[in-house]
Amino acid sequence: MPRPPAVELDGIAKKFGEVVALKSVSLGVGEGEFVCFLGPSGCGKTTLLRVIAGLERQNAGAVRMAGRDVSRLTPSERNYGIVFQSYALFPNLTVARNVAYGLETRRVPRAEIERRVDELLDLVHLRAHKERYPAQLSGGEQQRVALARALAPSPSLLLLDEPLSALDARVRQALRVEIKALQRRLGITTVMVTHDQEEALTMADRIVVMNHGVVEQIGSPFEIYTEPSSLFVARFVGHMNFIPATACERPGWVRVGSVELRHRPGPTPPAGTRLTLAIRPEEILIGLAARDGENRIVTRVCAMQFLGAFTRLGLALPGDTGPTLECDVAVNALAEVGAREGAELALVLKPQALRLFSDGG
């Protein structure tokens, strides 16, 4: 018999007055898995996390942990550690006492507590700051204390509510790696809420993309990035070009302005349907690769944006005045391609990369 998932949500629905926050959300989190709830603000991801934690009571549905229904258990009976967006570190207690907080009520001998505190502070590299107060630490250090505090009682589940959003970009990047490594090492089941798609892509084993209280897509970061199941996911995750198109008589082809393009094989909508093509900037072929091939079009460079390692070109399709497509070109390839404002540029949109979405969603 397969082991039940560490966390299982079954038809969770939640409303605040007449505002619906969650509409029947069901999903499972495997043991030791790192799952991210990703979505824009107001999509219900934090509410969902708080339902798991028992800090919010759902109107319908069940929460199960390792097969046991915990829906009616209070937060303190559910056995998880949590890190809030604000960290909620106790300002009047030292770092060591903060980390020891959950241990001190459990009749753990004092020496044992000290040992565990040291162990956890070593884990987050903060042993030297043991006797400091939270206000004397940097944002990133506070974040790590909150993490150590949540992990101290050895919970079976770790919940992270936008844990990195209050930090500046550089610290955030470093902590992503650190938290992920820590999670791997401890093998603790983790659910993290974030609105930052890059964060979700780099940290999660699986991503749950949410919008308006429903799950849009569940998949590995690779799946979510390469195979977005809806226009919303395509828009929200990564950078994507969207080209308005209409379906042709010929199955597998669509019309964009004056040209016809072949798209990735899939269901064929009736001719004349308004559609949206989607292709990522890095999937557009230019230069040598675009000398010939299917879906070859000639565009005009109408904007160039220097972004350091690469330059983002704004390209106008034949007949268009403004840029419809954006394409990233590495610095050293720029001259080779001959891109400058006003110049013409041939490119190939490989059919395999041209995803097709109906305009409804």
Partner 1 sequence: MAVLRADREAAAIPEGVVRHRLDGETALRYLLTGLFGLFLYLFVLYPMAKVLWRSLLDNDGAFVGLANYARYFSTPAIAASVTNSLYVSVVAMVVTVCLAYVYAYALTRTPMPGRGVFRVVAMLPIFAPSLVQGIAFVYIFGNNGIWTRLTDINIGVYGAKGIIMAEVFYCFPHAMLILIAALTATDARLYDAAAALGASRLKTFATVTLPGVKYGLMSACFVVFTLVITDFGAPKVIGGKFSVMATEIYNQVVGQQNFTMGATVSVVLLVPALVAFVVDRLIQRRQYALVSSSAKPLEPRKNPLAEWSLFAYCFLIAASIAAIYLVILVVSLVERWPYRLSLTLKHYAFDTVGGYSPLLNSVYVSALTAVVGTAIAFIGAYLVEKWRTRAGAPLYALSLLPVSIPGMVLGLAYIFTFNVSGSILNRLYGTLAILVISNLIHYFTVPFLTATTSLKQMDAEFENVGASMGVPFYKTFWRVTVPIALPSIIAISMYLFLNAMVTLSAVVFLVAPGTELAAVAVLLMDDAGDTAQAAAMSVLIIAVGLMVRFVYWGLMRGVTRRTQAWTATAVAADQVTMMGTGSLK
* Of 57, 47, 137, nearest in space to 99 by CA: 137
Q: Which of 1, 111, 135, 169 binds partner 1 (CB under 8 A)?
A: 135
Report the run of H or E that residue 161 belongs to, with start and end.
strand 157-161
Q: Which stretch binds partner 1 (CB under 8 A): 130-138, 162-170, 260-268, 269-277?
A: 130-138
Binding status of residue 91 toward partner 1 by CB under 8 A: yes
Report the run of H or E that residue 158 belongs to, with start and end.
strand 157-161
Q: Which stretch binds partner 1 (CB under 8 A): 33-41, 152-160, 225-233, 315-323?
A: 152-160
Min CB(55)–partner 1 separation in Å: 5
SS3 173: helix
Binding status of residue 232 toward partner 1 by CB under 8 A: no
- Site residues for partner 1, window 51-70 (CB under 8 A)? 53-55, 57-62
* Of 200, 260, 246, nearest in space to 36 by CA: 200
For tokens 């999937």, name the residue: 283
Min CB(37)–partner 1 separation in Å: 18
Question: CB–CB of 146/88 below 8 Å?
Answer: yes
- Site residues for partner 1, window 12-31 (CB under 8 A)? 13-15, 18-20, 23
Report the alpha-carbon distance of residue 229 to residue 245 in Å, rounded: 18
Which one, 14 or 45, has the nearer CB to partner 1?
14
* Of 79, 78, 114, 80, nearest in space to 99 by CA: 114
Binding status of residue 206 toward partner 1 by CB under 8 A: no
Question: CB–CB of 43/27 below 8 Å?
Answer: no
Binding status of residue 116 toward partner 1 by CB under 8 A: no
How far does the chain reach from its first CA to its final CA, in angstroms? 39
Report the run of H or E that residue 52 belongs to, with start and end.
helix 45-53
Q: Which stretch binds partner 1 (CB under 8 A): 102-110, 178-186, 223-231, 236-244?
A: 102-110
Q: Which of 68, 72, 110, 274 binds partner 1 (CB under 8 A)?
A: 72
Binding status of residue 111 toward partner 1 by CB under 8 A: no
The 10 Å Cβ neighbour count of residue 65 is 21
Which one, 90 or 222, has the nearer CB to partner 1?
90
Residues contributing to the site for partner 1 (CB under 8 A): 13-15, 18-20, 23, 53-55, 57-62, 71-78, 80-82, 84, 86, 88, 90-93, 101-102, 105-106, 133-136, 149-150, 152-153, 155, 159
